[in-house]
Structures are given as structure tokens and as C-alpha cells.
Amino acid sequence: MASSLSALRFRSAPRKEREFCLMAAPGKVAAFRLPPLPTIGEIIKLFRLKAQKQLSQNFLLDLRLTDKIVRQAGELKNAHVCEVGPGPGGITRSILSAGVEQLLLIEKDPRFIPGLQILSEAAPGKVRIVHGDILTYKMEKAFPKHLKKNWDDEPPDIHIIGNLPFSVSTPLIIKWLENISKKDGPFIYGRTQMTLTFQKEVGERLIANPGGRQRSRLSIMAQHLCTVKNCFVIPGEAFVPKPEVDVAVVHFTPLVQPKIQQPFELVEKVVRSVFQFRRKYCFRGLETLFPQDGRLKRTEQLMMTANVDPTLRPFQLSMSQFRNLCDTYRKMCDEDPSLFAYSYREELKQNKKMRILLKNQPEQTEKENQL
């Protein structure tokens, strides 16, 4: 099969995403090895690629480190992999060298597409390139249906790998945690594993234990749905340009049973409320779950029923205590269906408007009397 860029096919995809792929070569090869290719540095020079600070882009050029990242995903031989934000293709090369069956590349920045097409040519029939945004890309149809497994089974032969831009990493992992809770998105295929990079501090939050200074909302949301492993840390100087922080490589395996068996939105609301006042007693944050009328009484009821000490700080609460709080709050919402829709912030806004209105009212009355 010809390996020139003219061999590439273009086909339209929804949401203005564009997909490029090569026709599969006939027959199968026992072992796959990439042919000699330009180095990542040469690709960057060839296509005049520069990391854009506003997109939090940092290039990883050391293939020993990209190989190490890919090894954290486990056995990838004949696996189906989605790489998020491949950029100039460093991790992409390591994934292909691991002997994957199919590799889906989702890249938002069009500047990187030509360099990725070179890799696609070097691995005929193995690579699909999608020019699109991972936050909106529909992953329910990203992989063949025959790869689906029951949730109780071992994880499917599907992996998500990515050196994520810092600006995207936290909203993306929250989105995927919600997908895990609902068993949709990339988790419609089963307990799909993820190997992703984060700022070192975010990586520490993801694995933080009760009492740890990095314990946060992210710790609870991740650990109640996944086994989370902080694999290793990459020093900032390994990237081009060098970020101001080091980078953590984190591996996620969804749990068969979540530790808190309540809807994602409910768990997220309770956990967010608790950590709203991180340095105060947890009682203060939990108060924000309830309207001003009867707030103190209902907060006391919640904490007493959940058997949680109101003088504990948010970062001191264990997973079982969060589970008790969520279960109790769910019962209270079942008894009062309007409770879950209540918003503390919205109430503050309304109270502020009312104070301004009352403040202006005497001035208006005085003007009317003068007239």
C-alpha cells in the first residue's frame, strides 16, 4: 500500500470533527515495529510547532519517559487505545510500539494533525485521527461493540491515555467520573482504565487520605468510584516549555461497586458543600445544604443521623462518613423533594437583592413625600 499523504482518506464526522485514517494493509504481521521516523524535535521544527501557553501545552520529547507513561497502562498488546491530546506524537509512538490493535487520536489543535498523519502512515490500518474537542467528543461509539464487557467482569481491552493540558485535566476527569457513575461515555464498554497526567498537586489530591493536607472534593469523587494510583512524577524540566510545576502520572480503574451508592449529582453536591469551608468545622459547610428557615435544626439532624462529629474538619472525614452523610441527605430529600433543588448561592443572591431593595425604599419614600 502506498504510504504518501495522498493515501489518506477524509470523511466528515458530526460536531465539525474531522477524522483521518489509512486503509488497513492486507494480512496481519506477527509483531509491529515503527519504521525510522523523524524525531519529535524534528517534527516540531518541520511544522514550526510552538506550545501555546493559553492552551497549557507542554511537549514531552524524551521517549524513555513516554514509554514509562505507557507502561503504567498495563498490557496493551492487541488493545484498543484512545489517546487524548497527542500533540506532536511522543506518547503516540510509545503506544504504537506497545503493539496495540487500534489507536484513536483526539486532537483539538489543527497544527498537530500533519505530524500525526506521518505516524498514521507509518502504522497502516492502526491509527484514526479525530480533529475535535475531547470535552464534547461522543466516545460511546469510539470502539467496536464486540469489546463491551459486563461491569462486573474484568476491564475491557480498552484504555484511555493522555498527557492532558493543565487547563483541561480537572474538568475532564470530573466529566469522566460522572460517566463512570452513570456507566456511559467511554465506560459504556465496561470499566475502561485511564492513565493520565496532572499537575503534581492535583495528583496528590486524587490519592489523598483522610487527614492529609491535600484531601479535597476531588479525592472523594475519584476514590469513591475508582482505584486511583499515583504512578510516578515527571520533573517539570522534562517538558518543553518547562512548566512551573512537576507532573504526576495517575492510573484509574473504575470500581465494580462505588463506595457511595447514590447518584453522582447528589454525592457531588454534598462533597462540594462540605469542602466549601475547608478550614472550618464540617458543620459549617453542611449548613449550606439547607434553606435559611430551619437550617440549624436540619443540619443537626443530618449530622446526628449520619453519626458524624460536627467539629471535624472536612479533610478529616473518612469515606464511610461521607457515605453516611450522602445516604442521610438522600432520605431527607426523599421526604422533602424540593430540598435537592435548593441552592445556597442562589439564596445569597436573592437576600442581597432584597437588602438593596429595602435600602433604596426609604429614599424613594422620602422623595415621594417631598413631591
**Per the annotation, where are the binding residues for S-adenosyl-L-methionine?**
58, 60, 85, 107, 133, 163
Amino acid identity, position 161 = I
Tell me how far apart the alpha carbons of residues 5 and 118 are, in angstroms, rounded to a whole number: 8
Place of cell 484514526: 128
Between CA 189 and CA 356 the distance in angstroms is: 53
Helix or strand or coil: residue 160? strand
User: Where are the alpha helices (H) located in 208-318, listed in sequence order?
Assistant: 217-223, 264-274, 282-286, 295-306
CA distances from 18 to 15, 27, 128, 175 (A): 9, 28, 10, 23
CA-wise closest residue to 300 among 281, 317, 314, 315: 281
DSSP 8-state class, residue 259: S
DSSP strand pairing (158-162 vs 80-84): parallel
DSSP assignment of 180-237 equals: HHHT-GGGGGSS-EEEEEEEHHHHHHHHPPTT-TT--HHHHHHHTTEEEEEEEEE-GG
Provide the grid cell at 110.
489543527
Q: Which amino acid is located at 149 in the chain? A: K
Chain position carrying cell 501545552: 57
Residue 336 CA from chain centroid, whole number? 33
For residues 94 and 67, the answer to whether their CB atoms sit within 8 Å is: yes
Short-list 106, 147, 107, 100, CA closest to 126: 100
Provide the b/e sequence for 266-293 (b: ≥16 CB within 10 Å): bbbbbbebbbbbeeebbbbbbbbbbeee
Q: Which three cell numbers stand for residue 120?
A: 498514521
**What is the 8-class DSSP label of residue 277?**
G
